[in-house]
Amino acid sequence: MLIPLAQIIISVILIVLILLQERSSGLSGIFGGQEGEFYSTRRGLERIIFAATVVLIIIFAGLSLLNIVF
């Protein structure tokens, strides 16, 4: 019962983090990022959001495997 609940919570957080990463309307657009840029490095809060997204995806995948095993 605990694993599915954790998956739901993590999935909601992941949805929010992924939506914040969209280049045109995300944090880069809000704080003056250039829309026409081909490539830009992640800095500050964008880097933290990206890293948190990767970590939560790994945790979500691990919980999914645990859910299959148990």
As given in the structure block, the two tokens for residue 12 are 């909601």
DSSP codes of every residue in 5-53: HHHHHHHHHHHHHHHHT-TTTSHHHHTT--TT-S-----THHHHHHHHH
pLDDT score for 21: 86
pLDDT digit string, tens, across residues 7-28: 999 999 999 999 998 765 545 5
Give CA–CA dist 53/49, Å, rounded: 6
Residue ranges of the domains in the chain? Answer: 2-69
- Give the pLDDT band (50/70/90) at residue 36: low
